[in-house]
Structure 1
Amino acid sequence: MVSVDGLAVEFSGVAIFSNIFFVINPKERIVLMGKNGAEKSR
């Protein structure tokens, strides 16, 4: 299980997300989407 609580993301001092909470349980599948060249595999 993966649990995230209180995640915040800022870009150039501007809050994009704040106080994010989520849980990924065993056997659940997630996907990471984005345009080509957006460095998703890093």
Structure 2
Amino acid sequence: MLKLPVYITSGYPCLGYNHRIRGVPNSNHCNGLTTDIKVKIQSN
């Protein structure tokens, strides 16, 4: 198991915010089914 930080970049947006960013109105994010994450891996 790698012990790396996980950053949530997008989760459950309110409909107003989703509209402002021109998101899809009935997206999986708006339905609470999806989240976006980022894992930062350092290279030596």
- The TM-score, its normalising length taken from structure 2, stands at 0.23
The answer to which structure, 1 or 2, has the higher relative contact order (CA under 8 A, 6+ apart) is 2
Judging by fraction of residues, say which structure has more strand. 1
Looking at CA atoms only, which structure, 1 or 2, has the larger radius of gyration?
Answer: 2
- The TM-score, its normalising length taken from structure 1, stands at 0.24
